[in-house]
Every structure is written in structure tokens, then in C-alpha cells.
Amino acid sequence: MDLHVHARWTRGLMVGVVALATVSACSKEKKESSGDVTPAATATTPAASTVAVTDIDVGKAAANSRVTDKTDNFKPADTVYTSVHTTGSASAATVMARWTFQDGQVVQESTQSIAPNGDAYTEFHISKPTGLPKGKYKVEVFLDSKSAGTKDFEVK
């Protein structure tokens, strides 16, 4: 086979492969946009969670996972409580509290798995035997790895 014929044959083959790939991709997009669901897509789609964080409280005491003495001012020897109020339902969700000091240093992270059905409260707390250093702090709450809000407080 002469070099020009071989080059023409290779180019023709490549054009055919590209055309076939394009038709295949367009066909797949058409199926996906027409509402057809493939078994693989169903297997990897997580169940819809209808849980939402509605409130975050900070305080000096908690009972039944709810803050009972709300404040944003603490003494070094205090235990700082956070209560996360969620609504909705899910067979499984994760709530995390990340406590940070004014310089951005993470003081503590805690995670709890929940399976709420309606209103629910999740409690987190921090303390230190030698006392929390004086300064400004923030607790950020995450629901299923997404930030759901923050609360600032100060240790004086």
C-alpha cells in the first residue's frame, strides 16, 4: 500500500471513529434528557434528605440536647454547649461542630450521626481542664458536610 493511500485510509478511519463517538454521545444526552433512567444512575444517586438546620444555640448548660442557659460570654472554666435544631427527616444524616479560636486554629471537631423524623436537637460541647484560653471563638455547624451556620462567642 502506498504511503498516500495509507494516510488517506487512516484519516478516513479517524473521521469515522470521531463521528461514531459524537453520535453515541448525542444519543446518550438525548436519552438522559428525555427522562430515561439507567440502573447505574439509580444506584449512585443518594436518597433525598429533607433535613435542615433551623437554629444553633450557644450557652453554659444543656438538658435533653437543648441549650438552657443561652449566652455568648464565658469564663475559662465554663463548658460551652451548642445545640443544633434540625427539622425534617432522613434515614441517615451527619451533624458536625467545628470549634475555632480567633486565629483560625481548630480547637475541636465532633461529629454525630442522626436519623431524625421531625424536630430534633443535637448537642456538642467543649471545655478544657485547665480552662479555655481567653479570646474570641466560633462554632461552625455542618449538615452532611455542608456549612449550616456559625455562632460566635467569647471567653473573658
Instruction: Return d(Cα 26, Cα 31) in angstroms, integer.
Output: 9
Q: Check whether residue 31 and residue 72 sit in a common domain.
A: no
Q: Check whether residue 126 and residue 61 sit in a common domain.
A: yes
Q: Check whether residue 58 and residue 122 sit in a common domain.
A: yes
Average pLDDT over every residue of 21-36: 42
Provide the domain limits for residue 101.
Answer: 52-155
pLDDT of residue 61 exceeding 70, the answer is yes
Q: Determine the pLDDT at residue 120.
A: 96
Q: Check whether residue 148 and residue 74 sit in a common domain.
A: yes
Distance of CA 10 to CAs 1, 19, 54, Å?
12, 14, 63
Render pLDDT for 114-144 as a digit per residue (tens, 0 to 9).
999 999 999 999 999 999 999 999 999 999 9
- Provide the domain count of the chain: 2
Q: What are phi and psi of 75, to 5 degrees?
A: -100, 155
Q: Check whether residue 83 and residue 151 sit in a common domain.
A: yes
Q: Check whether residue 36 and residue 71 sit in a common domain.
A: no
